Structure 1
Amino acid sequence: MELVGKAIKHVTFGRGVITNRTDNILTVDFAGNHKKFLFPDAFSRFISITDEEGQAYVGKILDDISKIKNAEQLEQERLQRMLFLKVAPESQAAFGFMENSRNTVLKSWSVFAGNYLSGYSKGTPKVPTRLKLNSACLLTECPAGCLEEERRIIGAFMVKDDFEGKYCEDGIIPSHETYRILLNDKDGELLFWDYFSSTTRSPRWGRMEMKYFSNLQMKCILNDMQKIITDPLQRETASNFYRYFCKVNRLSTTEEES
């Protein structure tokens, strides 16, 4: 929009007219007294434009700048939370689709922690207290007619980066908007129980929807997932996921990169 010729009002100098605009500098004529102002900064503190069209134009610019600053502030706060986050060694969760529907989970990219099966809280949603912004949710299924040993990994996602499990009273765990992986039939198969020792007894999932497990085990799973994905774009997404997971859990990736 052309601002030259627009009338403005200054808190000290009174009414004036914009006579020139060069990049981010406005020149305003106050009855022969020419002043220069930063654009659009001055409109948030010293000057206002008098017509509605000009007000809408400047207002949108200021609003866009405010949104960018707010987003940058939120990102800084998120990075600070990551920096000072106390990382628990077993803050990852696997889900068995005992109470979840595969279609619902993959459509919403959120997963239900399941209900308590006994005790005072029986029948109410399980509060996923161990899950924080460093947690990943592993999606597994045991197809009808298969043995539990054949339970396979179908996908994973990082929790939303402002998620705090202890406050999740409805048991619904939302995913991060970026860090999501879904394996397909063209990719290789990863069996869930291969990452857990079964020397003492046969694999058994039980009735609970969610199981906690270690950060190091999740690291191994995510590393293997990125290796078996065949689609180049999906593989890059999985690689970024893996690196982000290691970063927020303060785990090294050097052994895989060498």
Structure 2
Amino acid sequence: MQLQGKAINHVKFGNGIIRELRDKYLIVDFVHGERKFLFPNVFAGFLSLIDHDAQLAVESIIDDVITKEKNEIKEEINEQERIIRIQKLKVHPSSQVAFGLIQNNKKDVFESWSVFSGEYLSGESKGEPKQPIRMKLNSACLLTECAKGEQEKERRIIGAFMVRDDFDGRTCNDGQIESHKTYRFRLNESEMLPYYKYFETNSKVYNWGNTEYKYFSNEIMQCILKDIQKMILDENRLQAVNEFYQYFCYVNRLKETENTELNTESSTEELAMEVKSS
């Protein structure tokens, strides 16, 4: 905006002429000498342009500055609230969720980066969305797939996402679980891991059942993420997975380690409980 040479009026110093706008400072020549003012702040009640159209243009700039400052304050408050939520979160040892994509379409899941919890299969709530009451902001959604024509034992891990940091499964009445805007990834064909490597069954009977999702332990998810890190060669994608891993450990209060041992007994027990419930 061209302000040089514009006539102004100041509530204290009277009429003047703008000499220049330099480094966010307005230099104005008055009868009794020059004055320097912060731009555009000085126009908020202290200084006005004689040119009506120019004054309106400056007021528009001021409105933009005020809006930006309000948004920055709002973002700061939201960040403080997010940190408080994480600090106060009571972490359940098995709050991670594996989805079988039984009632979800893979293409839709990756396009929307959200997943449906499925429906209750029996009881008074039959047909209604299943409420993922154990899921909180520390929950990761592990996306798995058993392709058409393949045996269940061939089920693979195809991606994952953290839920939004304001998510609470107890209030998720529609069953729609949205991802965090940052922490999510999809695996390429060569990067996909065998799901049952982490959930071995003693009977060697592989059965997902009809339920859409199954809970499993935080430590197993940590192990899966460590293995995924080893599979990804692209530097940019690996950086995204590394940040996912760091965030996951942070919100689940887990120590970041180079090597994470898999507790097969706990994973078997967890899977058996979920299969039985389905």
- Which entry has the higher C-alpha Rg, 1 or 2? 2
Distance 1:225 1:48, change over 3 A: farther
- Name whichever of 56-65 and 17-26 sits farther off: 17-26
Aligned equivalents of 2:208, 2:121: Cα separation in 1: 14
- Among 244, 247, 264, the residue aligned to 1:244: 247
Distance 1:249 1:226, change over 3 A: same
- CA deviation map 1:28-51 (0-9, x unaligned): 678759765444445557666662
Distance 1:5 1:230, change over 3 A: same
Q: Are 1:69 and 2:106 matched, yes or no?
A: no
Q: Give the match for residue 95 of structure 1.
A: 99
Distance 1:73 1:28, change over 3 A: farther
Structure 2 contact 43–59 (Cα < 8 Å) conserved: no
- CA deviation map 1:139-196 (0-9, x unaligned): 0011122222211101101112222222111111111122111111232x41111112
Distance 1:181 1:19, change over 3 A: same
Aligned equivalents of 1:192, 1:184: Cα separation in 2: 15
**Letter aligned with residue 23 of structure 1:** D
**Letter aligned with residue 209 of structure 1:** E
Distance 1:129 1:4, change over 3 A: farther
Q: Give the match for residue 225 of structure 2.
A: 222
Structure 1 contact 40–62 (Cα < 8 Å) conserved: no
Aligned equivalents of 2:126, 2:13: Cα separation in 1: 70
Q: Give the match for residue 255 of structure 1.
A: 258
Aligned equivalents of 1:45, 1:160: Cα separation in 2: 42
- Among 179, 199, 202, the residue aligned to 1:196: 199
Distance 1:196 1:25, change over 3 A: same
Q: Give the match for residue 160 of structure 1.
A: 164
Structure 1 contact 186–230 (Cα < 8 Å) conserved: no
> Is the partner of 1:244 in helix, strand or coil?
helix
> Is the partner of 2:193 in helix, strand or coil?
coil
> How many residue pairs end up in the alignment?
255
Q: Give the match for residue 276 of structure 2.
A: none
- CA deviation map 1:200-221 (0-9, x unaligned): 5623211110111111111111
Aligned-residue offset at 1:91: 1.2
Q: For the aligned residues, what is the CA RMSD?
A: 2.7
Distance 1:255 1:48, change over 3 A: farther
Q: Are 1:139 and 2:143 matched, yes or no?
A: yes
> Is the partner of 1:139 in helix, strand or coil?
strand
Aligned equivalents of 2:68, 2:197: Cα separation in 1: 50
**Letter aligned with residue 23 of structure 2:** D
Q: Where does the alignment leave 5 or more consecutive residues of structure 1 unmatched? A: none
Q: Give the match for residue 264 of structure 2.
A: none
**Letter aligned with residue 250 of structure 1:** R
Aligned-residue offset at 1:256: 3.9
> Is the partner of 2:115 in helix, strand or coil?
strand
> Is the partner of 2:118 in helix, strand or coil?
coil
Aligned equivalents of 1:207, 1:146: Cα separation in 2: 16
Structure 2 contact 44–62 (Cα < 8 Å) conserved: no
Q: Give the alignment's TM-score, normalised by structure 1.
A: 0.85
Q: Give the match for residue 265 of structure 2.
A: none
Q: Where does the alignment leave 5 or more consecutive residues of structure 2 unmatched? A: 261-278
Aligned equivalents of 1:72, 1:16: Cα separation in 2: 40
Structure 2 contact 96–139 (Cα < 8 Å) conserved: yes
- Among 114, 123, 128, the residue aligned to 1:110: 114
**Letter aligned with residue 64 of structure 1:** K
> Is the partner of 1:212 in helix, strand or coil?
strand
**Letter aligned with residue 215 of structure 1:** N
- Among 233, 240, 252, the residue aligned to 2:236: 233
- Among 46, 56, 60, the residue aligned to 1:56: 60
- CA deviation map 1:37-95 (0-9, x unaligned): 44444555766666211211222233223323322332222222222222111111110
Distance 1:5 1:239, change over 3 A: same
